[in-house]
Structure 1
Amino acid sequence: MADTLTETTDQLAPGAPVLRPAIHLDHCVIHVSDWERAAAFYGAVVGAEVVPFKKGFVFRFGGVQLNVHGPGQIGEPRAGLPVMPGGSDLCFRWSGTVEEAMAHLAAHGVPVELGPVTRNGAAGKGTSVYFRDPDGSLLEFITYASE
């Protein structure tokens, strides 16, 4: 892996050192059309800590945060065009079995759109189920056999 990373980096920036510090995703942005509906869904279905912020909320999952844009609140600076409701595609690690994830979704009346299917995620090969948030963003729960 290190050789591939070095080769790729050298192709992009000849002579540049390879970045090696510990890096992990801190936050990303989603956009919702209804604050209360989104807070209820992400809190109950996805397990987020719903944290009031300005006119809306942010959603926290341990050390990762979803910044939320919505009615009356769009962050600055923003990347190009604003994120639109329903335009996100996010994967969350589920710590139980895929059957438990599917039962959890069913208990909340959330239909599974696809799955279970084998996918590759941050921890390697896993099993995923796909579903949508109230705005139509594609969400995924992935499980890993070793967990």
Structure 2
Amino acid sequence: MKPLADRFDHIVLTVADIDATVQFYARVLGFEKEEFPGSDGKPRYALRFGNSKINLQTLATDTANKAQVPTLGSADFCMVASAPLDQIVAHLRAEQVAIIGPVGRRGAMGQMSSVYFRDPDRNLVEVSEYL
């Protein structure tokens, strides 16, 4: 069977503090905050980058469509770099973000070089450049 989907649109992160998360991702990766109405009419927030976004929720966010057991620090995800990885590493170091890497990895489209770091909720964030 041919796959019935071809890419991710967004992921959802459960975070302790939406403002702290927005500030971190804006400072460290240049992501932009987006506000949108939730299904209950209350404001929801996301981080926008490229053609993707990360929707943010807290443990207290009340929505019908939620993970079975939303947990802080349980995410591990990879994003493809929009700048050379050496520039990203230099920026992360300048922002005093502890990193692991660069290390060689295999992504969905082949060999890549990746750098890892943790966000305020201890999620593992990977930024990669295809070789």
TM-score normalised per structure 2: 0.84
Contact 1:34–1:71 under 8 Å retained in 2: no
Q: 2:86 aligns with which of 91, 95, 99?
A: 99
Q: Which amino acid aligns with 2:33?
A: V
Shift of 1:123: 2.6
- Residue 110 (structure 2) pairs with residue 127 (structure 1): no
Counterpart among 104, 116, 136 of residue 122 in structure 2: 136
CA distance in 2, matches of 1:74, 1:115: 37
CA contact (8 A) 1:39 1:50 kept: yes
Q: Please say if residues 69 and 75 of structure 1, whose CA atoms lie closer than 8 Å, have aligned partners that are also in contact.
A: no
- The alpha-carbon deviation at position 74 of structure 1 amounts to 4.2
CA pair 36-22 structure 1, distance change in 2 beyond 3 A:
closer
Asked if the contact 1:35–1:71 (Cα under 8 Å) also holds between the matched residues in 2, the reply is: no
Equivalent pairs: percent with the same residue? 37
Runs of at least 5 residues in structure 2 that lack an aligned partner in the other structure = 37-41
Shift of 1:39: 0.6
| SS in structure 1 of the partner of residue 29 of structure 2 | coil
Q: Normalized per residue, which structure has more helix?
A: 1
Aligned-partner Cα distance in 1 for 2:123–2:62: 18
| Cα pair 1:31 1:68 within 8 Å, conserved | yes
Higher alpha-carbon deviation: 126-135 or 48-57? 48-57
Match of 2:52 in 1: 64
**Aligned partners of 1:75, 1:120: CA distance in 2, in Å?**
35
TM-score, scaled to structure 1: 0.76
Q: Deviations over 1:73-116 (max 9, x none)?
A: 2432123212x12111111111333221111111212110x211
**RMSD over equivalenced CA pairs, Å:** 1.9
**3-state SS of the aligned residue for 1:73?**
coil
Contact map agreement 1:58 1:67 (CA 8 A) in 2: yes
Shift of 1:43: 1.5
Matched, 1:110 2:110: no
Higher strand share: 2
Distance, in Å, in 1 between the alignment partners of 2:72 and 2:109 is: 28
Which structure has more relative contact order (CA 8 Å, sep 6+)? It is 2
